[in-house]
Structure formats: structure tokens, C-alpha cells
Amino acid sequence: MVIRNRQLSRRGLLGGAFGLAGAGLLTACGDGGGGGNGTSGGNESEPPEDQGSPEEGKLVVWGGVAPEDGPQALVDAFTAKYPKIEVEYVRYVNNDEGNLKLDTALQGGVPIDIFFSYSTPHIVRRSGAGLALDLTELAGQDDLTKELVQGEPVSTKVDGKLFSIPTTYFPNFAVINEDAINKAGIEIPYDWTIEDYHQVALALKGEGFHVGAYNVPRHAATGLGGDYLYKEGGLESNFDHPLFRKRLEDTLAWEDDGSILTQEQMTAEGMSGYMQNHFLGGTYGMQLDGTIAMRYVKNLDEYPHDFRTTFRPYPMLGNGEPYINPGVRGDDVQIAAKSQYQAAAWTFVKFWIDEGAPIISESGKVSPAQFAAGPGNADLNAALFGPNADDLFDVEAFEKTFYTDTPPLSVKTITTAYNEISSIKSQAEGEIRLRTLSIDDGLARMKEEADAAIAKASE
């Protein structure tokens, strides 16, 4: 990838809260097949003039959370504080169709100033294609965000640069039907393993659930961390590591013994992306998820159920083995490279992660700052769990599960051909689960195609 320095202009970028002395950077890169590793073309247009400032502007914000679940209240609070900055919030659905709609809008003439990217592939693709502003220098000059660019990485970067600001602290953990495990006499420790998780799933299956659990823990991500797709240095893929084979073997075995749903069941019934429907509907008694689950568990109008939900940490590979939580700092917010109100946009981003964070928590979001404050936050708990907290949630188990630095969250520092590799992996794993491709052949194909993608992107 060729990174070209491009000057941002006008008053909002020359001082004050934006503080760049005219040295802002925009990144312009070729699409590179979606992986953000192409080469810039020679016909770059000049960046737009910044017509705003830290105190005034007109912003269009695209996000995946419904306005009534917190974003509109946050926008209203922001407007009350900054009456000269007009904000319009546009909801897009965070699925394949919705993300394509956002990508098309960013590339076309639709005015968008701020947008949210909810996974690494989206961050990498949009950043690498020159659709997002490079925030590295901005973040380094603000107390709210400087930890993102100083010291060890704590969130996703693209080619060593920061194009997005994570707004949530999102560890993964087990979400469990407490009534079911109590009825079965199952006691789950807080230091359990993947095999323990399997045994609990089998026991839940025996209690009358269609299957015991929704998903299998991610062995490689848990054992190797955020860059688990790559060997050290990022010049070769890691699909020959035994943890990839172990998860595939476990997946097929667990499908066969009824611990988890089969790929055929998930595809036929359209279950992918709708875990909450089937957990709260009683299809299975356990899933690996995060705080977003709170939004659905407390919504008895749309998801009526009469059981209590408890929580346990993400299972480890083996007793006493160090491991990584595959969750991340997420719900990344990005400033559009074409925005004509970039100074005002930065003001809005900072409000979202600071003063606005408590407002958005009702949608199942916990900011890094809220996590750092530790357990016992009555206002946060009220927002997360709602008025029926004691009836619906084991809050004590949640706090014991959630508020810990051990294991640390996953951090991705290598993104070479990331989107291509993710697609290669997903395609092969799907075929393996459908039993149309063997594990041996699937891993060999993943390794060969991923290595080729890395080599091409590194030319």
C-alpha cells in the first residue's frame, strides 16, 4: 500500500480542538480486492475543504443501532451542548445488504460524515479504500484517545495507522440459561475449559433443548490472539497451526453429538446473525456472545421468556493455560474522508465515547471508560439490565465475568489481505461443516490461497 500525505484545509484543522496545524492525513489506496492492500492510483482528487469547526458544522452519521435504542437521545444531548452543529442520524442494518449500502454510499455522492464499522473486515476495507480519515495524529493529541496510538496496540490498525475509534469494550463470554443449568444440577466454574463447555452443552441437550449450545469456542483466536491468522511477521498464513484443525474436528464432532447446531440447520432456518431469537426461544441453552445480548434479554415484548440468564468467562483451552479473550474493543466509529465537516465530526466522535457513552448503554454497549471504572456502577447496570434486572439477570455473575483484565482482549495488528483471508476461511469452513470438503483438504486450500493473497498484497 502506498500512503500519500494530503493536506486538510481551513480553520477547523489549523488549531483548537483539531490541533493539527494543517498537517492532517488522508489515506488514498486502491481497493486491492477488498483487503486494503492495493496501490494508489494516480488521479487523486483534492480533499474537501473543512467547512466546519469544533463548534459548528452539519453532520450525517450512519450507524447500525436503531435510533430509539440510544443514538437519537445521544444526538439530542450533543445538539444541546453544541447547538451550532446539526446532526442527522441514519440507521443502516448491520448485515451484508446494509454494509453494501453503506459502502456504495461512501463511494458515491451521498453525504456521510461519520459512520460505524462493526468488524475488522469492514474497518480494513473502508480504510484501505480511502473512505476513512486517518485519525492517528488526532488521537495522539487528545487525552480521550491517545492510548490508542501510544504504547502497545489496543485496537485495530491498518498498516500501522489508526482509522477508527472503538466505542465499546466487548469481551466475549458465555450467556447461559440459568434455570436450565440449575434444574440439571450443573455447576459451572469461572475458570472452565473448552471441554467443560462441551460437557455443559451435552448436559443441556439432555435437558430437552434442540441442541445444547449455538457455537464452538474459537480455539486459534483464544490460544494465539488477534493475529492468529498469520505467522509471526505477517508474511505467511497460520492455517497449518494445530489449533485450526482442533476447532474443525470439535465442530464436526459436536454437531454429531447434538452439542451445537449443524451448518445445514443454521442455513435452512436462517439462524446466522439471530442468536438471540433461538436462545430466548429455547432452541439451545448457551451461546458465546457479549454485552449486546442484554438488549434482547430485557426486551420481553419482542423476546418473551420466563428464565433467568447467567454468565461465565470465555472458556480456556486447558486448565491453567494462558489465553486471549477473542472479544475486542469494537463498534468502531470512522470519519469519512469526503466529509466537509471533519473538525465538527471529531467533536462528535469524542462526545460519543465520553459524555454520550452512558446514553448508548441501554442498547447493550459499554465504553472502555465505563469498563475501566469497574463494577458497581448503578447507572450503567440500570441501563444494561433494565427495570426487571433481578428477575432476568444474574448481575453478580455478569460483573464477576465482565470486569477483569485477564484474559486480555484480542488486538489485531496485522491486516495484510485480511478480507481475502477471512473470505477464504469462511468459505472453506462452511464446506467442511456441510461435509463436502475434508478437514485435510480444507486446511490445505486455506493455507495455499491465503499465502497467495498475502504474497500478492505484499508486492
Instruction: Write out pLDDT tens, residues 93-147.
Output: 998 899 999 999 999 878 999 999 998 889 989 998 899 999 999 999 988 888 8
Tens digits of residue pLDDT in 228-255: 999 999 999 999 999 999 999 999 999 9
The pTM of this model reads: 0.82
Tens digits of residue pLDDT in 53-62: 888 999 999 9
Tens digits of residue pLDDT in 369-409: 999 999 989 999 999 999 999 999 999 999 999 999 888 99
Tens digits of residue pLDDT in 256-289: 999 998 888 887 776 666 778 899 999 999 999 9
In this predicted structure, what is the pLDDT of residue 46? 58
**3-state secondary structure string, the chain?**
CCCCCCCCCCHHHCCCCCCCCCCCEECCCCCHHHCCCCCCCCCCCCCCCCCCCCCCEEEEEEECCCHHHCHHHHHHHHHHHCCCEEEEEEECCCCHHHHHHHHHHHHCCCCCCEEEECCHHHHHHHHHCCCEEECHHHHHCCCCCHHHCCCCCCCCCECCECCCECCEEECCEEEEEHHHHHHHCCCCCCCCEHHHHHHHHHHHHHCCCCCCECCCCCHHHHHHCCCCCECCCCCCECCCCHHHHHHHHHHHHHHHCCCECCHHHHHHCCCCCCHHHHHHCCCCCEEEECCCHHHHHCCCCCCCCCCCEEEEECCECCCCCCCCECCEEECEEEEECCCCCHHHHHHHHHHHHCCCHHHHHHHCCCCHHHHHCCCCCHHHHHHHHCCCHHHHECHHHHHHHHCCCCCCECCCCCCCCHHHHHHHHHHHHHHHHCCCCCHHHHHHHHHHHHHHHHHHHCC
In this predicted structure, what is the pLDDT of residue 158? 86
Whether the per-residue pLDDT at 362 is higher than 70: the answer is: yes
- 173-326+394-457: which CATH number, 3.40.190.10, 2.40.50.100, 3.30.565.10, 3.40.50.2300? 3.40.190.10
Whether the per-residue pLDDT at 452 is higher than 80: the answer is: yes
Q: Where in the chain is the domain with CATH 3.40.190.10?
A: 11-169+329-372, 173-326+394-457
In this predicted structure, what is the pLDDT of residue 36? 35
On whether the 11-169+329-372 domain is CATH 3.40.190.10, my answer is: yes
- At 309, the pLDDT band (50, 70, 90 cuts) reads very high
High-pLDDT (> 90) share of the chain, %: 67
- At 16, the pLDDT band (50, 70, 90 cuts) reads very low
